[in-house]
Amino acid sequence: MEAGRQRQGRLWSNLKEVCDLLHIPAANSIANEELLFQHVQFKTGQRIHTIGQPFDTLYIVNSGFLKTVLIDEYGNEQVLSFPMKGDMLGVDGIHTRHYSSEAVALSDCDLILLPFKKLTALGRIHLELENMMYGVMSRELVREQAMIGMLGALSAEARVARFLVALAERFAQMGYSSKLFNLRMTRHEIGSYLGLTLETVSRTLSAFNEIGLISVDQRTIGIKDSEALKTLRRLPPSRTRGKPATGKSKGGDTVPSGQLLAAL
Amino acid sequence: MEAGRQRQGRLWSNLKEVCDLLHIPAANSIANEELLFQHVQFKTGQRIHTIGQPFDTLYIVNSGFLKTVLIDEYGNEQVLSFPMKGDMLGVDGIHTRHYSSEAVALSDCDLILLPFKKLTALGRIHLELENMMYGVMSRELVREQAMIGMLGALSAEARVARFLVALAERFAQMGYSSKLFNLRMTRHEIGSYLGLTLETVSRTLSAFNEIGLISVDQRTIGIKDSEALKTLRRLPPSRTRGKPATGKSKGGDTVPSGQLLAAL
DNA sequence: CGTCTGCTTGATCAGGGTCAACTCAGGTGG
DNA sequence: CCACCTGAGTTGACCCTGATCAAGCAGACG
């Protein structure tokens, strides 16, 4: 809303604003008013791009919430991410020149269009921009690596807990409250994202609520004990059998009845 | 082995060879013999880079097999990928300027060093190279997305099956046999990669062996029925309850005793 | 030749998926 | 305005997949 200006009845952003959105330290040398990127608005439920569609532009989220999904051979959706302000969409299309995922608006959205050709050409002139591109793609990769680690190693409770913490941090850095916020996605979508069923997500939220870690009312989540959420991990504390990679938890771990919590 | 030349007692590759390795259509305009990239050899078990180590170079695998791992807060390894010939390593370091994963040689390896600064500078001159960079990073991203989809939605059997198929395809495109090959990693590493325990991996391989899908002898795998492996999916065929996304499996699916197989 | 690591196989158990019933909020149309 | 419908969410009962624990085996190596 703050970024962008009217021009011919449309919103446009300059390079500086784009860099700010992406948290890229932009040299002011590039505050070029002639270099403008167009905005596009999407309404809730609209598709930004679909799988297989020819790729030619990247998107940056200026406002709103989305999901990106994969669709398997049986038509089942698999949620890959929940992009929000400052995130980039469409990077997966660069390789094959066709988007390999689908992006859907979970709320009314304002996106900035970045024609890929134009962007790379600009990158050769403005090195910050080039660095931005590499940086954003690398960040995305690291994020997905973390996701893989989570799916491969964590229990259902831990996944939901970390999901909430991550969301809270995103809201914080967007200037919203990190203690009380609204989920923009359904339990089903959360479950798909975390590799769980909607029932498990629902139950886990209820459990957290009872223990006092959070408060739940429909889509409204209140974070009560973010520390506990952060340190929550798999229930059977996977006590290093065999070779302790780092000899640490040798003591009996006398956590009495903490079958849900596990102190660090 | 074919790529690279001796010079001052070391191996070097030119841009063309690098592009070939990455399957990038390289304009021969860049067959510049002055632009050479150095090779480095690693022996089995050696670490290419570690988590947190300052980033400044990318690597391309010229020969050999590796694994990249994440290490969680309790010292547990989580395998992220098994890079082999033509794969790029270290991309995750670009964002924070520190590697966020660790790469270990599973066999003796020959890697090509790509100093990142030098690479991006070159990219501005040779557009193919720039495209290569974006393309490789995007491909990596797509690969990880597929991984997330797999971890989030597939059964143990399906994961192992697809792992074998993917390996076979990699070997094929490297010129080796796709029907008979040697695993370079332990059951434990496979399990970590697939989000399973080593016991489950072992049992699943044994089961495939008994059914005649593959032959197993220690690290030697023979692919007998790659079609069946490809179409294997979750055991309870998740018969589209509620809304059939694509109304299909309405007929009784008279697969007799196929509790392990699931025809498309 | 003993030891160690990787692998297999068996027995047991529980985390979380599946199925089902019910509630609740919002949208629609008579 | 209210009856109705639909989709989201909650909760319970049950059971299966895959983790855990345990034992035994084979090849590599000092």
Over its length of 264 residues, how does chain A's per-residue pLDDT go in tens digits?
A: 455 566 555 699 988 888 889 887 766 665 566 788 999 999 999 999 999 999 999 999 999 999 999 998 888 899 999 999 999 999 999 999 999 999 999 999 999 999 999 999 988 888 888 988 999 999 999 999 999 999 999 999 999 999 999 999 999 999 999 999 999 999 999 999 999 999 999 999 999 999 999 999 989 999 999 999 999 876 433 332 333 333 333 333 333 333 444 433
Verify whether the Cβ–Cβ distance A144 to B139 is below 8 Å: no
Q: Which two tokens stand for residue A214?
A: 């959070």
Q: What does the pLDDT read at residue B242?
A: 31
Average pLDDT over residues B149-155: 94
Higher-confidence position of B154 and B19: B154
Given phi > 0 = left and psi -120 to 50 = alpha, else beta, which region is A44? Answer: beta
Q: Please say whether the beta carbons of B58 and B112 come within 8 A.
A: no
**How many residues are given for chain A?**
264
What is d(CA A262, CA A139) in angstroms, rounded to the nearest whole number? 30
Q: Which residues are CB-contacts of B167 (< 8 A; sequence separation ≥ 6)?
A: B181, B183, B221
Q: What does the pLDDT read at residue A29?
A: 60
What is d(CA A64, CA A44) in angstroms, rounded to the nearest whole number? 9
Q: What does the pLDDT read at residue B15?
A: 84
Q: What does the pLDDT read at residue B256?
A: 37
Min CA distance, A8 vs chain B (Å)? 33
Paired residues of B57 in beta bridges: B115
Nearest protein residue to nucleotide D18, judged by CA and C1' positions: B200
Q: Supply the CATH classification number for the domain A154-231.
A: 1.10.10.10
Does nucleic acid strand C have an atom less than 7 angstroms from the CB of B236?
yes
Tell me whether the CATH fold assigned to A5-140 matches the one assigned to A154-231. Answer: no
Average pLDDT over residues B1-15: 69
B240 has pLDDT over 50: no
A2 touches chain B (CB under 8 A): no
Q: Supply the CATH classification number for the domain A5-140.
A: 2.60.120.10
Give residue-wise pLDDT tens across range B57-95.
999 999 999 999 999 888 889 999 999 999 999 999 999
Q: Which residues are CB-contacts of A251 (< 8 A; sequence separation ≥ 6)?
A: none
Min CA distance, A73 vs chain B (Å)? 9
A112 closest CA partner among A13, A7, A2, A1:
A13
Cα B23–chain centre separation: 15
* Positive or negative: CA dihedral B74, B78, B80, B82: positive
Verify whether the Cβ–Cβ distance B148 to A149 is below 8 Å: no
B125 touches chain A (CB under 8 A): no
Q: Which nucleotide is nearest to A205 (CA to C1')?
A: D10
What is d(CA B160, CA B162) in angstroms, rounded to the nearest whole number? 5
What is d(CA A174, CA A74) in angstroms, rounded to the nearest whole number? 37
What is d(CA B101, CA B89) in angstroms, rounded to the nearest whole number? 10
Q: Which two tokens stand for residue A134?
A: 């590499």
Q: What does the pLDDT read at residue A7?
A: 59
Tell me what the pLDDT averaged over chain B comes to. 85
Cα A169–chain centre separation: 11
Q: Which nucleotide is nearest to B199 (CA to C1')?
A: C8
CA distances from B77 to A82, B152, B164, B188 (A): 27, 19, 21, 10
If 0-12 CB within 10 Å is exposed, 13-18 middle and 19+ buried, where does residue B73 land? exposed
Min CA distance, B7 vs chain A (Å)? 32
Q: What does the pLDDT read at residue A72?
A: 87
Binding residues for strand D (Cβ < 7 Å):
A 183, 186-188, 198-199, 201-203, 205-206, 216, 218-219, 234, 236, 238-239, 241; B 155-157, 195-197, 199-200, 234-236, 259
SS (H, E, C) B225-248: CHHHHHHCCCCCCCCCCCCCCCCC
Q: Please say whether the beta carbons of A113 and A40 come within 8 A.
A: yes
Min CA distance, A161 vs chain B (Å)? 16
What is d(CA A140, CA B57) in angstroms, rounded to the nearest whole number? 19
Give residue-wise pLDDT tens across range B109-127.
999 999 999 999 988 888 8
Q: How confident is the model at residue B4 (pLDDT cuts 50, 70, 90)?
A: low
What is d(CA B137, CA B142) in angstroms, rounded to the nearest whole number? 9
Verify whether the Cβ–Cβ distance A94 to B137 is below 8 Å: yes
Q: What does the pLDDT read at residue B239?
A: 31
Residues of chain A in contact with residue B95, where contact means CB-CB under 8 angstroms, are 135-136, 138-139, 141-142
Q: What does the pLDDT read at residue A54?
A: 98
Residues of chain B in contact with residue A115, where contact means CB-CB under 8 angstroms, are none
- ∠ CA B100-B202-A155, nearest 5°, is 50
Verify whether the Cβ–Cβ distance A138 to B137 is below 8 Å: yes
Q: Which segments of chain B does DSSP mark as H helices, in order?
A: 15-21, 116-125, 127-153, 156-173, 187-194, 198-211, 226-231
Strand D nucleotides in reach of protein CB atoms, 7 A cut-off: 8-13, 16-22
Q: Can you point out the beta strands (E) in chain A?
A: 5-7, 10-14, 36-42, 47-49, 57-63, 66-71, 77-81, 88-89, 102-105, 109-115, 180-182, 214-217, 220-223
What is d(CA B38, CA A225) in angstroms, rounded to the nearest whole number? 52
Average pLDDT over residues B135-143: 95
Q: What does the pLDDT read at residue A51?
A: 96
Interface test with A, best of B55, B56, B74, B196 (most A CBs within 10 A): B74
| Architecture label for domain B155-231 | Orthogonal Bundle (1.10)
Min CA distance, A245 vs chain B (Å)? 6
With b meaning 16 or more CB within 10 Å and e meaning fewer, what string describes A227-258? ebbbbbbeeeeeebeeeeeeeeeeeeeeeeee
B194 touches chain A (CB under 8 A): yes
Neighbours of B148 (CB within 10 A): 24
What's chain A's Rg over C-alpha atoms?
21
3-class DSSP state for residue A143? helix
- Helix pair angle (B187-194, B198-211), 10° resolution: 100
B57 touches chain A (CB under 8 A): no
3-class DSSP state for residue B210? helix
Q: What does the pLDDT read at residue B126?
A: 85
Q: Which two tokens stand for residue A16?
A: 């500086």
Domain spans in chain B, listed from the N-terminal domain onward: 7-151, 155-231
Superfamily of domain B7-151: Jelly Rolls (2.60.120.10)
| Distance, Å, B241 CA → C19 C1' | 10
What is d(CA A61, CA A132) in angstroms, rounded to the nearest whole number? 15
Q: How confident is the model at residue B25 (pLDDT cuts 50, 70, 90)?
A: confident
Cα A252–chain centre separation: 37
Q: Which amino acid makes up residue A185?
A: M
Verify whether the Cβ–Cβ distance B144 to A146 is below 8 Å: no
Q: Which two tokens stand for residue A23?
A: 């948290």
Verify whether the Cβ–Cβ distance A148 to B151 is below 8 Å: yes
Q: Which amino acid makes up residue B135?
A: G
What is d(CA B110, CA B161) in angstroms, rounded to the nearest whole number? 29
Q: What does the pLDDT read at residue B26?
A: 66
Min CA distance, A208 vs chain B (Å)? 22
Give residue-wise pLDDT tens across range A204-241.
999 999 999 999 998 999 999 999 999 987 643 333 23
Residues of chain B in contact with residue A146, where contact means CB-CB under 8 angstroms, are 70
Verify whether the Cβ–Cβ distance A153 to B75 is below 8 Å: no
Q: What does the pLDDT read at residue A247?
A: 34
Cα A246–chain centre separation: 31
A150 touches chain B (CB under 8 A): no
CB pairs under 8 A between A and B: 148
Paired residues of B182 in beta bridges: B220
A31 touches chain B (CB under 8 A): no
Interface test with A, best of B24, B77, B145 (most A CBs within 10 A): B145
